[in-house]
Structure 1
Amino acid sequence: MGRSQKIAIGAALLTVIAGAGYLGVQAYLQAPLFSEEDIAQMRADVAAQNEDAFHQPDVMPAAYSERSELRNVYFGELHTHSTLSFDAYLFGNRLSVDESYRFAKGEAMEGPTGELMQLTRPLDFAAITDHAEGFGLAEACDDVNRNEATQELCKTVQQPSAELFLELRRQGAQRPPVSAFALAIEDPEKERSYMEATWAHVVDMADQHNEPGRFTAFAAYEYSPPLEGTGKMHRNVIFRNGDVPSHAVSAFDALSEFDLWEQLEAGCDRPCEFLTIPHNPNKSWGLAFAGQTIDGDVYTAENWATRQRLEPLVEMFQIKGNSECALGMGTTDEECAIEQFLPRCETDDEIECIRPTSMVRDGLKKGLTLDEELGFNPLAVGLIGSTDTHNSNPGDAEEWDFRGAAAVFVGSAKSRLAPGRPGRSALKRNPGGIAAVWAEENTRDALFDAMKRKEVYATSGTRIGLRFFASFGFGDGVDPESPSIAAAYQSGVPMGGAIEGATGEKPSFLVQALKDPIDAPLDKVQIIKGWVEDGETRELVMDVACSGGRQPDAETKRCADTSADVDLADCAFDADGGAAQLSSLWTDETYVEGQKAFYYARVIQNPTCRWSTYDSLRLGLTPPEGVPATTTELAWSSPIWVN
């Protein structure tokens, strides 16, 4: 088997279905995933890359905001994996939790194949969310008194094969899931002590790196029960402070979210407090908003109430795709096609495809129907973006700096551009997004409170500024061109909030978007509305502010396409076309009194190069076919609900 084939298959393993496909590669499956020769060759490939083939922004120092009652925006990351995640370790990542936080604060870092990674601007906050299912492995392998089975497991982890990866995933996908770690140790008390030692280290690292007013580090982890195929119904667990349970509840402890929430609450007494954030709704095979668990247990009203209380946010954009919406499922806006790599399901029994209950916009619509049924809306969720990187580089979502998300497998431009298994190669991925939080100050309490009240928004990787308010009667000072934020807070509610209907009035929305200071200008701002009419959920997408004097068409509610372009020879974008700021004070004239609805803002940036084009320039190649040469960065506000 040639090296290029090995790289392609290796990249495909990141999302492989246990036991499916790959006939005729048994020898490869049993061989090490990567050898010293593989890594040496990748290092040579990296050394040959031309990192000066395009413009790169200068690295900037951290900037710190003073406390503000009108709230500052803080950019961060709530979903990153270090070497403590067993899959990241198998992929060759040896960068620690400590190094992950140092990266978030702005330090440069070298990946396992020699590629340099560094944020242009440090993050304001981060949570390193390693898989709890792998906690304890390092401690067990360091134990000089480990038994023979544990010693053998540690040996195979040090020289992992594809077969090992597939077997671990197969065992984890069983119901109930099987832990190879527990089987090897054969001592539940010792196993738990190992796991608790890892979790204590994770919490200690967050405490050490937490610097109130400068950088916030949250104690956190990921709860990761796999689904059949490449599916997942995972949740990141974020704690308010360093007062946490002694044990991180994993998928081996809790079969479903019901068990997870129950066990977390049982072990988390104030001042301990937590919230959970589901990720990749697009890969949940419809479970994200279906109202049933992985085992088919149907949500009761009490279950929905628990979810409403403990799960205020959803991660809707990351390296594994965009979970906002999908074309053809009640949606027609072309932005729904950005960074989608899964098709729509054609039948009810399909997997590896998108169902209506997989996507956030459809989940928001379902929340409206549940409100009519239950008397409350358990799916009134705020929106964030993250990376889900397994390279220990939180927030590294800039297209030009994308180094893959799985260490050695995609540790060079050549390997990332390899086609791999159709529909499963690195080419179908993206650098992921980041989370933006409006809070009075950069502290654990202030950011956690903002997440609970859902005054947050998602971006696809850039640092677009976005404000969104609603009211049934904005007062003086709320001008779209230069609005008083104090007046907007006083007479309205910000993103994540709700307003009550008023007799004879129609809701108005103030949206203000600012371009990322080091990225392309803005194209336009949209408002997306969802509501229930005659028992059916409906939606409407409207352009409300467009650059260059363009105005929305009276019938389509959309502006003409932007003429801004990108020079693919060096990825220079059109710095003059577009706008530095777009604002609108928009009233929904279609609103019917008594109607329950949600509204959120979506900001669209002018086109820039996609990461695959940057990698092509590194190698002196033309951009690959089958994926766009450019991308359109986005920002999404959390919704505002009209009750």
Structure 2
Amino acid sequence: AYVDLHGGTKRQAAWHSYIDTAEEFNEPGKFTALIGWEWTSAPGGGNLHRVIFTPDGADKAKQFMPFSQLESDKPEKLWAWLDATNKRTGADFVAIPHNSNLSWGKMFQVEDSEGNPITADYAERRMRWERVVETTQIKGDSETHPALSPTDEFADYERYSFVMVPTGPIAKPVEADYVRAALKRGLEIEANTGVNPYKFGLIGSTDAHTGMSAVEEDRFAGKGQKDSRPELRKNPTGLGSAKGWDMGAAGIVAVWAPRNDRRSIYDAFQRKEVYASTGPRMAVRMFAGWNFSARDLDASRFPASGYARGVPMGGDLTGKGKAPSFLVEALKDPDGGNLDRIQIVKGWIDANGVAQEKIFDVVWSAERKRGKDGKVPAVKNTVDLKTGKYINSVGAVQLKTFWRDPEYKAGQKAFYYARVLQIPTPRYSLYDAIKLGIDPRATGKPLTIQERAYTSPIWVSAKS
């Protein structure tokens, strides 16, 4: 029955209606409406969804019908269709892997869909279309997991492992499901094939099915109709064994583009000058170069100095130098919590060809000093658990720093991305509990969280 409804021209009227709506509301320079769809591949219940958009308009979009999982549930077939459609119509596309934490070990594998080892050809085809990945959303955060990053004190954030099949299994954390592990795996594959299949930028999205992108903790509108209101969230959502409070109020994508129009936004995705936020609208910039100094952060020079003498987030730093240096700046959401710290996450290949990771605290709010153990003490939690109010009496409105990797070895291939942490603020489930007059612990979720942003990585490949 599904195939019959899908076949022929049965979907054309609906697709053209979507296109016409996007065209009606697209206002270059003011409000950009993109034409796109979701490819909902889920072999065996593992989420391999991709969200696909085009920067082009109705003239090209009406020349094709969206490729769906009924045509094929294999990513390679999707990429082949994108390539063929691009050649036939001239339409450009971006395909964004979605919710990898629920892929059941399938999103970032070391083999292709047929079980063959990833080749340079596979890597090139994947990287042509999948320039960014979704790192955080309502169904959990996919940056990393405590089991995969045991030395990361902030890894335990909005975990969600409810595989979307009726029997309700729980996914065990594996490298193929998480973004940081995939970035590391990409370095290892590149060492063997010469091409990195996981050289992607990082974004966030909502995945809300309510028609509202309300991801603020104090006004979260839920994933769908079964968890759209506080009184419903103690109940199952219908997504595997998840309940309403298992959802996370996230996320959004930020784009550094010279103009607010379709082509400029597409170009930013292509060069990966984008970043993810779990909800707060904080502004974050990051650059890498061989010869930066602290002066490059001066207001009269930054960010022009970053572009002139280095590369922005999403870029490749090549050439020759003793160690890469970084300029990173974050400005808080005007309506949100202050900033706790900025960290830089590094991944590299060791002498044995194995990918490693390390997190560096590079700048933090002024009231604390690094301890003798090398750690920065936790920022104070100002949340009043009875009222849900917090005070921006700690943290910083803005953080910025110049940082050079003190552990870099000449010729090392590595990636670096920034993670910006807010001070603790109430999770939406705390607001719900206060409104409902129940014990917040009954939600089974943390009372407070530290929201965050993730920049796209910068890849360093220096000549020794």
> Structure 1 length normalisation: TM-score?
0.67
Unaligned runs of 5+ in 2: 164-168
2:52 corresponds to which of 237, 240, 246: 237
User: Deviations along 1:475-515, whole A, 9 cap, x unmatched?
Assistant: 68403677521111100111000111414x21101110100
Note the C-alpha offset of 1:351: 6.5
Superposed CA offset, 1:265-295 (max 9, x none) = 2123454100100011111111111033555
Q: Which residue of 1 aligns with 2:250?
A: 432
1:290 paired with 2:109, answer yes
Q: How far apart, in 2, do the equivalents of 1:595 and 1:452 lie?
A: 25
Match for residue 265 of structure 2? 447
Per-residue deviation at 1:419? 6.8
Partner of 1:252: 70
Taking the aligned partners of 1:482 and 1:460, their CA distance within structure 2 comes to 31
1:368 maps to which residue? 187
Q: State whether structure 2 residue 324 is matched by structure 1 residue 507.
A: yes
Which protein shows a greater Rg?
Answer: 1
In the aligned structure 1, how far is the partner of 2:127 from the partner of 2:247? 31
Q: CA deviation at 1:219?
A: 0.3
Quote the Cα distance in structure 2 between the aligned partners of 1:448 and 1:488.
Answer: 22
Shift of 1:431: 1.7
1:207 corresponds in structure 2 to: 23
- C-alpha offsets along residues 73-130 of structure 1, whole Å, 9 cap, x if unaligned? xxxxxxxxxxxxxxxxxxxxxxxxxxxxxxxxxxxxxxxxxxxxxxxxxxxxxxxxxx
Q: How many residues align?
A: 449
Cross-structure match for 1:139: none
> Residue 223 of structure 1 aligns with which residue?
39
Instruction: Using CA pairs under 8 Å that are at least 6 residues apart, name the structure with larger relative contact order, 1 or 2.
Output: 1
2-structure distance, mates of 1:613, 1:365: 36
Shift of 1:366: 0.9
2:157 is the alignment partner of 1:335: no
Q: What amino acid is aligned across from residue 32 of structure 2 in structure 1?
A: T
Task: Give runs of aligned pairs for residues 589-600 of structure 1, distance below 5 A.
Answer: 589-600=406-417
**Residue 205 of structure 2 corresponds to residue 386 of structure 1:** yes
1:426-450 C-alpha deviation (Å, 9 max, x unpaired): 1111122000000001010111000
The residue type paired with residue 441 of structure 1 is R
2:8 alignment partner in structure 1: 192
Q: Give the structure 2 partner of residue 134 of structure 1.
A: none
Structure 1 residues 428 and 483, CA gap change in structure 2 (3 angstroms): farther
Q: CA 1:320/1:384 → structure 2, altered by over 3 Å: closer, same or farther?
A: same
- RMSD of aligned alpha carbons: 2.2
Write the distance in 2 (CA, Å) between the matches of 1:194 and 1:362. 41
**Match for residue 31 of structure 1?**
none
The one of 581, 596, 610 equivalent to 2:427 is: 610
Q: In 2, distance between residues paired with 1:475 and 1:631?
A: 34
How far did residue 259 of structure 1 move?
Answer: 0.7
Moved over 6 A (4+): 419-422
Q: Deviations over 1:571-599 (max 9, x none)?
A: 21122211000111001010000000000
Which amino acid in structure 2 is aligned with residue 333 of structure 1? D
Using the TM superposition, give the Cα deviation of residue 406 of structure 1 relative to its aligned residue in structure 2, in angstroms: 1.4
User: What is the correspondence of 1:521-536 to structure 2 with a 5 Å cutoff?
Assistant: 521-534=338-351, 535-536=353-354
Q: 1:642 aligns with which of 451, 460, 463?
A: 460
Q: Equivalent residue for 1:403?
A: 221
Question: Cα deviation per residue 1:430-471 (whole Å; 9 max; x = unaligned)?
Answer: 122000000001010111000100000000011011000000
1:248 Cα offset (Å): 0.4
SS at match of 2:401: strand
Query: 1:22-171, aligned counterparts within 5 Å?
Result: none
Picking from 306, 313, 338, the partner of 1:488 is 306
CA, structure 1 residues 266+413, in 2 after alignment: closer, same or farther (shift >3 Å)?
Answer: same
Identity of aligned residues (%): 38
Cα deviation, residue 201, structure 1: 1.4
Give, in whole Å, the separation in 2 of the partners of 1:299 and 1:611. Answer: 41
Helix, strand or coil at the partner of 1:526: strand
Q: 1:438 to 1:365 in 2, by over 3 A?
A: same
Shift in Å, 1:607: 0.9
The structure with the largest helix share of the pair is 1
| Partner Cα separation in structure 1 for residue 413 and residue 371 of structure 2 | 26
Partner Cα distance (1:388, 1:356) in 2: 23
- Kindly indicate whether the alpha-carbon contact (under 8 Å) linking 1:280 and 1:317 is maintained by their aligned counterparts in 2: yes
Q: Kindly indicate whether the alpha-carbon contact (under 8 Å) linking 1:381 and 1:638 is maintained by their aligned counterparts in 2.
A: yes
Q: Work out whether 1:561 is the aligned partner of 2:378.
A: yes
TM-score by length of 2: 0.92
SS at match of 1:597: strand
1:635 to 1:497, Cα distance in 2 relative to 1, 3 A: same
